[in-house]
Amino acid sequence: MSIAQTSKMNWREWLLSERPQSRAQARLGRSYMTWRRFTANKLAVIGLFIILALVFVAIFAGLLAPYSPVVGDLRGARLLAPDWTHWMGTDDQGRDILSRVIYGSRLTLYVIVLVALIAAPIGLIVGTVAGYAGGWTDAILMRITDIFLAFPKLILALAFVAALGPGIENAIIAIAITSWPPYARIARAETLMVRNSDYIKAVEIMGASPGRIVLRHIMPMCISSLIVRVTLDMAGIIIIAAGLGFLGLGAQPPLPEWGAMIASGRRFILDQWWVAAMPGMAILIVSLGFNLLGDGLRDALDPRSSGQ
Amino acid sequence: MSLAEPTFHDQGRRRKSASALALALLRFVFIAAATFLGLIAVTFFIGRVMPIDPVLAIVGDRAPASVVAAARQQYGFDLPVWQQFFLYLKKALAGDFGTSVLSTYPVMQDIRRVFPATLELATVGTLIGLLFGIPLGVLAAVKRGSFIDQAVRVVGLIGYSMPIFWLGLLGLLVFYARLGWVEGPGRIGIAYEYTFTPVTGLYLVDAIIQRDWGAFRDVFSHIILPASLLGYTSMAYISRMTRSFMLNELSQEYVVAARAKGLSEARIIWGHALRNAAVPLVTVIVLSYATLLEGSVLTEVVFSWPGIGLYLTNSLQNADMNAVLGATIVVGAVFIALNLLSDLLYQLLDPRTRS
DSSP letters, B58-86, are: HH-TTS-HHHHHHHHHHTTTTS-HHHHHH
Contact check, Cβ <8 Å, A159/B336: no
Helices (H), chain B: 10-49, 54-59, 65-74, 81-93, 107-142, 147-161, 164-171, 190-193, 203-209, 213-250, 253-260, 265-266, 274-302, 308-317, 321-349, 351-354
Name the minimum distance, in Å, from the CA of A20 to any CA of chain B. Answer: 35
Judged on CB neighbours under 10 Å (0-12, 13-18, 19+), B347 is middle
Contact check, Cβ <8 Å, A284/B160: no
Interface of B with A in 134-163 (CB under 8 A): 144, 150, 153-154, 157-158, 160-163
Contact check, Cβ <8 Å, B157/A159: no
Nearest to A160 by CA among B45, B243, B216, B300: B45
C-alpha B33/C-alpha B27 separation (Å) is 10
Contact check, Cβ <8 Å, A287/B163: yes
Instruction: Tell me what pLDDT residue B53 has.
Output: 66
Nearest to B231 by CA among B315, B321, B296: B296
C-alpha B173/C-alpha A162 separation (Å) is 30
C-alpha A276/C-alpha B177 separation (Å) is 15
CB pairs under 8 A between A and B: 147
C-alpha A157/C-alpha A173 separation (Å) is 9
Residue B342 sits at the vertex; the CA angle it makes with B340 and B347, to the nearest 5 degrees, is 100
Q: How far is CA B220 from the centre of its chain?
A: 21
Please tell me whether the overall predicted TM-score, pTM, comes out greater than 0.80 for this model.
Answer: yes
C-alpha B67/C-alpha B69 separation (Å) is 5
**Tens-place pLDDT, residues A271-300:** 888 888 999 999 999 999 999 998 888 877
Q: What is the ipTM of this complex?
A: 0.83
Pick the residue with more confidence: A108 or B354? Answer: A108
CB atoms within 10 A of CB A138: 18
Name the minimum distance, in Å, from the CA of A292 to any CA of chain B. Answer: 7
Q: What is the mean pLDDT of each run of 10 residues along chain B (355 residues)?
A: 40 60 81 86 79 66 77 74 83 83 86 91 94 93 89 90 91 89 83 78 84 85 92 92 89 88 87 85 88 86 91 85 87 86 78 59
The Cα diameter of chain A in Å comes to 76
Residue type, B331: V
Which of A20-24, A100-104, B351-355 shows the lowest per-residue confidence on average (mean pLDDT)?
Answer: B351-355
Q: Identify the DSSP state of A60.
A: T
- Find the residue in A nearest to B302 (Cα): A266
Q: Is A155 within 8 Å of B332 (Cβ atoms)?
A: yes
Q: Is B234 within 8 Å of B224 (Cβ atoms)?
A: no
Counting every residue, how long is chain B? 355
Query: CA of B229: how far to CAs of B160, B177, B224, in Å?
Result: 12, 17, 9
Q: What is the mean pLDDT of residues A193-198?
A: 86
CA torsion through residues B253, B254, B257, B258, sign:
negative
**Average pLDDT of chain A, as a whole number:** 85
What percent of chain A clears pLDDT 90, i.e. is strictly above it? 27
Counting every residue, how long is chain A? 308
Q: What is the mean pLDDT of residues A167-183?
A: 90
Q: What is the mean pLDDT of residues A22-48?
A: 84
B170 interfacial to chain A (CB closer than 8 Å): yes
Name the minimum distance, in Å, from the CA of A276 to any CA of chain B. Answer: 8
Contact check, Cβ <8 Å, A243/B165: yes
Cβ-proximal residues to B14 (8 Å cutoff; 6+ apart), any chain: none
Query: CA of B211: how far to CAs of A243, B196, B204, B220, in Å?
Result: 39, 11, 10, 14
Contact check, Cβ <8 Å, B162/A163: no
C-alpha A160/C-alpha B43 separation (Å) is 9
Residues β-bridged to residue B106: B99
Contact check, Cβ <8 Å, B163/A291: no
Contact check, Cβ <8 Å, B49/A164: yes
**Tens-place pLDDT, residues A257-273:** 999 999 988 888 888 88
CB atoms within 10 A of CB B150: 14
- Find the residue in B nearest to A44 (Cα): B154
- Find the residue in B nearest to A177 (Cα): B42
Is there a cis peptide before residue A254, judged by omega within 30 degrees of 0? yes
Instruction: Tell me what pLDDT residue B133 has.
Output: 94
List of chain A residues whose C-beta atoms are within 8 Å of the C-beta of residue B168: none
Q: Which of B35, B42, B144, B166 to mutate to test the interface with A (most CBs of A within 10 A)?
A: B166
DSSP letters, A186-214, are: HHHHHHHHHHTSHHHHHHHHTT--HHHII
Q: What are phi and psi of B106, to 5 degrees?
A: -60, 140
Instruction: Tell me what pLDDT residue A172 has.
Output: 92
Name the minimum distance, in Å, from the CA of B214 to any CA of chain A. Answer: 27
C-alpha B338/C-alpha B341 separation (Å) is 5
B250 interfacial to chain A (CB closer than 8 Å): no
CA torsion through residues B105, B106, B107, B110, sign:
negative
CA dihedral B262, B267, B269, B275 (to 10 degrees): -120
Q: Is A77 within 8 Å of A90 (Cβ atoms)?
A: yes
What percent of chain A clears pLDDT 70, i.e. is strictly above it? 95
C-alpha B256/C-alpha B260 separation (Å) is 6
List of chain A residues whose C-beta atoms are within 8 Å of the C-beta of residue B233: none
